Structure 1
Amino acid sequence: MAIGYAARWPGSPGKNAWMVAAVIILTAQGVVAQKVRVEEELEAYPTESVDLRCEFVDGGSLTKLTQVSWIWEPVDGQRDNIAVFHPLYGQSFPNMAFKDRVIFLHKELKIPSIRINNLRMSDAGRYTCEYATYPSGNEQGTTTLTMLAKPKNSARAVTVQAGSRSVAVARCEAADGKPAATIQWLSSVGGNHSTTVSNGSDGTVTVRSEYRLVPTAADNGREVICRVEQRTQDRPWTEVLRLSVEYPPTVTIEGYDNNWYVGRSDAVLFCQAKANPEPTTITWTTASGSLPDTVVVEDNKLMVRKVDDAVNTTFTCEVKNKHGASRQTLTTFVIEALEDPSSVGTVAGAVIGSLLALLLVVTLVVVLLTRSRRQQRRGFPSAGDSMAPGNGGSNGSDYGNKARLLFGGSGNAGKNGTGANNNGPVYTYREGCDATGTLTDKPNSFHHHLHHGPAGSRPAAHDILLCGELDEAERRKFNLDDSIEEEDERYNRFGGGGNILPPAYHAHRGHGGEAEMDVYLDDDMESQRDGSVISRTAIYV
């Protein structure tokens, strides 16, 4: 393009030739500038090392290399030669700040790369690899070295006193970092923050931030988070801070249940205080000043050993810390003594026991009365009945609607079936069983079988039972279904001998003829000491 631009230039041929020569020179300089190969930018950290590479690209046999130098430019306009290499005179390090920290890696003029050890933040800047050549002159390439530094992060809460002015309650800092860090605050408290930046002499940057708010007692213990981000960190750095707001005590009295009765021994009051810092003293007093003798104080607890009229008063609890004092009052009321719950239980137990005993007695009385009435219905004589001939009756006397059949006596039967020892059978009944259902005289084979008496003197018991003309009430007296055990009990009750009547005999209708009844009665007879034989059962009709 430069050549074409010169061809259109008007003028003499001599002038055109001069322009062509100028373009060739500029092109040659561009080619020469590309002969020094370096890295454009490098990053490093303090205390580490870095390699600055440089290489001269062959420009042909006409170019002669005479010397190479490394020049450091910390800021614009300042150039310091830090390393020189000459094929004949060797290497030198004229800058004392880099002496013993810089070395040539190859000791070769074409590859004059160097290494800087134990880097400092102040080593940042531009490093130029410059060749002295013949006949072209100086050739160079420049590398920019950036020094990085990880910041030293820290955060802390600031102890403040509750008040009405905005103050810093937390601080966060990212010191000596490069490049500069950024600080953020995460909080639900509702404050704000301010940030400052300061540069160090070695190129590092320190960033400080404060979190500010108007502190209250409610802010004590709340959390804020400091978050630091910087290029050298793999992830953001965070710190959780718990705010510390100091305030005077707030006091409440707890434990009173409105049930302080005379004689109570477990009455307790608690003085609860919230304060930062913790309370230094807790004091209990009453309206009169001093505490009653029945009261004991332990830390924040007031215990009443026995409630009486002396504690029917107003109690005051006062709490102090370095920021002030606070107090709370409570008026207690003593009421009459309540009934002892244990005595109430005893009385209740006694009442229940008495009721159970009374119920048992009533049950026994009902059972006895029921049994007595049942015995009377089943044939035992009542107070108005005649039990034997000796009681005003005779062998043939009338018992009303009842007739009694007694088994017993000796083998010598008396007249009309009565024995000499009063143990003989006594028959009292209506005679026969006519068409109207009235008993009449009929032969008594049953009696004859037992006592060898004359046949036909008395009707048999089962004849009486089998009389179809008896009315239902009469027959029901003979159809008894009580168990044998019940009859045994009755028998034992009456003794089974002497002049006491034996238990009633249970005649069961419809279980066989007269012969079966005779066999049953034979098995039922029992010999007595006086020689008589008495049946274990009897019938009342």
Structure 2
Amino acid sequence: MAGQDCVQVLLLLLASTLLPHGASGQRVKVEPEVLSYPGQTVNLRCAFTDTTGIQLTMVTWIYEPKEGERMNIAVLHPVFEPNYPDSPLKGRVSFMQSPPNMDGPSIQISDVRMTDEGKYICEFASYPSGHEQGVTQLVMLTKPQNSASPLTVEAGPKPMVVARCESLNGRPAAQIRWVTTANGNATTSSKPGQDNTVSVTSEYRLAPAAADNGKDISCLVSHRTQTSPESFQMKLKVLYAPQVAIVGYDNNWYVGRTNVLLTCQASGNPVPTTVLWKSMTGEMPDTVQIKDNQLKVLKVDEAVNTTFVCEVKNRVGTGRDQVTALVRGTRLPEKGATTGSIIGAIIGVILIVAIIGTAVAMYRKHRAGKLNGDGPPKHKPPPPKKKNNTAIRPVTTNNAPAAEERLLHDQHYRTQDAEPVTDLDASNDNEVDDNGGGEGARVHYYAAAPSGWDDPGNGEAPPFYKRSGNESQEYRQATDVSRGDSFVSSGMYV
């Protein structure tokens, strides 16, 4: 019975090798990539998704390193026990299930090493489709040791390394980039590290100048083991000789001037250590006092009519500056304001005054308008009342007042402008004054606009209308007004 089983197995193996291969990876499910660190246990999953009408005869796990030949590391047969051929992984590789399952022959590798990185192929021998497989890439990760530092250099015309950044013993190789305002460039190189790792070194180069000292420079290291780039912030270190400048000379040193001061300003890396003042004519004048980087002239005379030199030293070199003092007989006049600034100030004052004056005038005008009642009338005065066509006969026994009243009445109507009246018949033609119109009654006059003074009473008239003794007592008719110019009819004599 056992011999028959062996024969069947051999026949199945022979058939699987002779049958053509099916479409690879269509029904074999694996993880495309698995990440792991050295010393961990990694699981490599594999499953045949659809076995309908298919008989699985054998499963083989194959390891394919990046460099070297392929090798079988695990074999599963439905009849025999699992087999682990000789390989670098023997003793560390095994099927995950016990007993193993032909539909899901996943394996695990314990204590993984950097040398275990490569391709792992899960291959099925089936009937009648033949061989089908899935490939998993095992990527070994090692977190690198990152560091960066600036290099101290002296200013000069030749390019040199001013900063270095390293990522040592990482897997896979790290990526390095620089961020700085310095005008230079970077060079990057890599080399194999320990246990199949990679070390990456990047150097930043430039021709250093004094202005580059203290500039910011950053190294950014990116790696798969890091969630974000690791940043190293630094400042460039450039050594340079002192840069010197003498300040304080105003070109107005005149005889008798006192306490004038010159200051020697210097910058350098390292910090300058010594400051030396000299005179081009030899010895320093007696009126000169020197303290550190300051030269003070107590009183200006012909002796200080010379060139002063300031020398500053550090361990890199020496820097100097000089100033020639010209002693004058008299003091230079002080500079006043320029003509342009004076004119500008005057124009500005004029504009301000004009604005203020305009504002005051507008305010006064507005206030005067309120006090005088300027503006349109709040209501329209009533139209004049229509009278009978008969001549107005004031009831009086005195001819003089009656004549004056007639003259006033006539003048009143003559001065009226033409005004349209929509309905003159609306008023009562025989309207009689409420006072009875008797002898002592006061006659009221109506006009389209206020006359500016009250209606005259009995025996009253403004001086302008008083008649002279030469005038006739009869009523004098004024010049006729055409009907087109007035709605008041011409006077009638009875």
Q: Which structure carries more relative contact order (alpha carbon 8 Å, separation 6+)?
A: 2
- TM-score using structure 2 length: 0.48
Max Rg structure: 1
Q: Which has the higher helix share?
A: 1
